[in-house]
Amino acid sequence: MSRDAIRSVKLSSITLPLEVPISDAKVFTGRQRPMTEVVFLFAEITTEQGFEGIGFTYSKRAGGPAQYRHAQEVADGLIGEDPNDIARLLVKLQWAGASVGRSGLATQALAAIDVALYDLKAKRAGLPLAKLLGAHRDSVRTYNTSGGFLNASLEEVQERASQSVAEGIGGIKVKVGLPDGAEDVRRVAGVRETIGDDMPLMVDANQQWDRSTALRMGRRLEEFDLTWIEEPLDAYDVEGHARLTRTLDTPIATGEMLASVAEHERLIAGDACDIIQPDAPRVGGITQFLRLMTFADQKGLDLAPHFAMEIHLHLAACYPREPWVEHFDWLNPLFEQRLETRDGRMLIPERPGLGITLSEQARQWTTESVTLGTR
């Protein structure tokens, strides 16, 4: 095949409304308001030979417009470039916006482009992205989070947990971190009773405990045989997480809020978790995520990527150790396709690339859009 070149890059800001305002522990501790929407930055890249790739990043509560503006400022550097040179193109865009750093919002803006380039490359090869990268498995264990938020009553959480298990989900995660620890224990006990002793159960405190509270709550929750306790402490408290990892029998999971490879390296080097939870859109895309997987595997860590199952399913399938992928049905309205779950696992789609296309509804939710280059 002759050398191809990028012809155009379309950037779109799409606001996904949530049916019900969502609350985790950060709302109940007064640090955030309930979440009512998620803002996505989509990148659609087209080549001279007619290949197309799609990628996305996202922001919850704030930052979406800034991600869009940053991507708009630097993305024209892709026009005329060979789309196969993903690592080189990522570095080029990083330098185009170097004055605002290589983490946080600027990194997240580039993630949509990086993911789109990988999607395009897999489509050129006629392969699902997992197969292009080199999969260890054709399906990944999956657990559900979207039914376990604190705005829902225990009875609602129990009902949704039962429904998820019936739909082929392999584990249930519920939110904790309420000011009243006894209520956390009551909710966890109720869900454990509903799903039985053999179903994996996880809890997520969303960074709302201090060190002493996390230790006490971790010990109180050990009777429920949890698969992990997620984000018990502030995301940047490496030492505190390391102490919990050494002290508690229950595995500690964290990492979703970190916004660069360097931040994850510090977490990994500090032996601060048993299960690492990177988020490809937050760390800069698939190029960066693959680097993290290498570090995590060298340390013997388990992997459970955060959110964005449409991307993370493919990446988790490539991890040498048996991983988890987080099932969220929030994003379903954005795409024409659905990911299939069966016997506790999410199946790698046979469609090329990520295997997703934007829905007409997503197009209608677009608030801003720009095309760089020509079509």
Are 264 and 283 within 8 A, CB to CB? Answer: yes
Q: Is 134 exposed, middle or buried (0-12, 13-18, 19+ CB in 10 A)?
A: exposed
Give the pairing of strands 6-22 and 252-254. unpaired
CA–CA dist 244, 37 (Å, integer): 33
Active-site residue, 306 included: yes
Q: Tally Cβ neighbours within 10 Å of residue 243.
A: 17
- The continuous run of DSSP H or E covering 245 comes out as helix 238-247
**Residue 257, φ and ψ in degrees, nearest 5:** -90, -5
CA–CA dist 140, 136 (Å, integer): 10
- Give the residue carrying structure tokens 């159960």: 201
Q: Is 197 exposed, middle or buried (0-12, 13-18, 19+ CB in 10 A)?
A: exposed
Are 264 and 241 within 8 A, CB to CB? Answer: no
DSSP secondary structure string for all residues of 107-164:
HHHHHHHHHHHHHHHHHHHTSBHHHHH--S-SEEEEEE-TT--TTS-HHHHHHHHHHH
Single out the catalytic residue among 123, 173, 175, 241.
175
Active-site residue, 131 included: no
Are 205 and 178 within 8 A, CB to CB? Answer: no
CA–CA dist 56, 311 (Å, integer): 9
Single out the catalytic residue among 306, 312, 314, 327.
306
The residues annotated with a catalytic role in the active site are 175, 306
